[in-house]
Structure 1
């Protein structure tokens, strides 16, 4: 495949963002199901309140691990999340092949890095921290608008790209 042909199959930014919006719905559903199962397992004591709200220490890491597993397994099994399927896009290695576990993990970690800004919420406030995360992700995807092959920061770091299929 020539360089020009490969570029013709890259995924436009608008399609990528719409697929991400679909994935947000899937992630919300996953988080709600995990939350329900955790509430049932703890007999409703997962989140307690009194003078202060207390969430079990293991709950948020569990939610993060389950969401991470959704993306990793989707990318490794067929290169598509639920949100990517209706938009007919697939994440691939640069040669068009399947992602390696290393590439998928790098892609996930770099894509999730802006979430670390939420750790600043006690200092700058939750609203400012959420806006900082949103601004960081906007920069991550701005790279895709400027890159010839429409690769976002996490794709550049992992050596992957999104391609239109079919």
Structure 2
């Protein structure tokens, strides 16, 4: 764990951040299911391959709403579970504008392999292998940041810190 000199906030370990990232992905299955059902019902799509690009754009917007909403409040559901909070450089809650910037920049987890796959016309299996290779590389690059933050956080002016839950005084039984 790294202690940041600006506000004495502790940067969560890379292992903890990646566990949170994986849990976030698991929770996103529910978001995708509900949003996909909503899109299909509203657009009367009967075949999964119909309106595919429109559905991808719709999911991009839905994901953006989900993350921007929760990050502006400090934590997503997965971040609460792992006691991680997103803050600005000074340790304050981030604005919706900064959360939106962080959302767009967070696509650096996926865009490089997707762009390479598209540029070279790679089949889906090879694109998946490329993405599975890029994700750990992007995560490990955080080791080269002075505060061990992910680079998209540094670009967005945000950082992840440990946020232990506040303890409320116990009431006598």
* TM-score relative to the length of structure 1: 0.82
Task: Give the SS at the match of 2:110.
Answer: helix
User: For residues 76 and 4 of structure 1, do their structure 2 counterparts lie closer, same or farther at Cα, with a shift above 3 Å needed?
Assistant: closer
Residue pairs, 1:1-40, within 5 angstroms: 3=5, 6=8, 9-40=10-41
Structure 2 unaligned runs (5+)? 165-173
Which of 61, 65, 86 lines up with 1:65 in the alignment? Answer: 61
Structure 1 residue 128 and structure 2 residue 126: aligned? yes
Indicate the SS of the match to 1:103: helix
Hey, what does 1:159 align to over in structure 2? 157
* Deviation by residue 1:55-107 (Cα, 9 ceiling, x = unmatched): 35421100111012111111012x10111001111011111001133322222
Please give the secondary structure, in 1, of the residue aligned with 2:82. coil
Query: Is residue 39–residue 58 contact of structure 2 (8 Å, CA) maintained in 1?
Result: no
Partner of 2:47: 47
RMSD (Å) for aligned C-alpha atoms: 2.5
Change (3 A) 1:89 1:73: same
Report the number of matched residues: 159
